[in-house]
Chains A and B, each alone.
Chain A
Amino acid sequence: MRTPTEWYLVVSALLFTIGTVGVLVRRNALVIFMSIELQLNAVNLSLVAFSRQWGNLVGQVLAFFSMTVAAAEVVVGLAIIVALYRKRGSANVDDASLLRW
């Protein structure tokens, strides 16, 4: 039996929400970044599910581009975290308070 598309959407919603809560709750910049990756993956899952639902491959192509952009984004983000760590001596986002009044 084929699994319904809605199930994938609900799983994707759950994963996306867990990622969102992770971004809001955690203080370590690296774990926040991992949560963002989780959100990107959840969206990819729903894209591929929609691709099957509509019977064309554009959703998969979009997920592929999303993965590429995510790879570039991870590299730049990790470099920023390393630069921040060198400057402030910690990867805690609460310590990066340069722009606070």
Chain B
Amino acid sequence: MGFLILFWATASIAVASAIAMLFMRNAVHAALMLIVNFFCIAVFFLMLGSQFLFVVQIIVYAGAIMVLFLFVIMLLGVDRQEDLHERIPGQRWIAVLLGAGLVAEIVVAVRLGLGLSTGHAARLAALNRGGNVRALAAVLFNRYFFPFEVTSVLLIVAAVGVVLLGRRYAGDGTAARPAAIATRAGDGSGDGDGPAGTGGDPGGDLERVP
């Protein structure tokens, strides 16, 4: 009984916060609604007997990823109004209609699939007997060890790619550098920035002969 109440409360909060995220004009409010939704999904993970993913969901998603989102929102300006003008007529209604169709389709599919699989839920409890983290590690570091190592390569590649993407280049038209940084990077040579604002990144300054 307690599980049922917990499920319905969490499910309604999850769906309500997701819908609220859709309607929020301000990106910060949308991000906060998404954090509520992530916590609800974490509670679902806990109810499904996956304590490790519960913790990871809160730390990685609600913690790290959403903080990153909020940083970028702050970087781009919080008080910008979203342009609500539609370029394609009727796109909003068609999208809602297609969404309703998708939900109906999945619900029918789930309904048809009822009873097709004979559950082995008792086996999960047996697997989790020594703790969910230990059982998960036994699977992850034996059978899925190679994908696990490949994941580290993926993370490094992503980090390097982001550093390259976030770099400012000299002539990309966005060289609106603050004067303080410009003089600091200019190494005390005053405003010898050269013609047409080529005083780009410090990497470019290194190649110039003083």
Residues in A lying within 8 Å of B, measured CB to CB = 1-3, 5-11, 13-22, 24-28, 30-31, 33-35, 37-38, 41, 44-45, 48-49, 51-58, 60-61, 63-65, 67-76, 78-83, 85-87, 90-92, 94
Tell me if B9 is interfacial: C-beta within 8 Å of chain A.
no
Residues in B lying within 8 Å of A, measured CB to CB = 1, 3-4, 7, 11, 14-15, 18-19, 21-22, 24, 27, 30-31, 34, 37-38, 41, 44-45, 47-50, 52-53, 56-57, 60-61, 64-65, 68-69, 72-73, 75-76, 80, 82-84, 87, 91-92, 95-96, 98-100, 102-103, 106-107, 110-111, 114, 117, 119-124, 126-127, 135-136, 139-140, 144, 147, 151, 154-155, 157-159, 161-162, 165-166, 168, 172-174
- The A-B contact count (CB < 8 A) is 234
**Contact between A83 and B139 (Cβ–Cβ < 8 Å)?**
no
A27 to B88, CA, bound (A): 12
Which residues in B have their C-beta under 8 angstroms from that of A83?
Answer: 165-166
Q: Is the interface of A mostly helix, strand, loop or mixed?
A: helix
Which residues in B have their C-beta under 8 angstroms from that of A9?
Answer: 106, 110
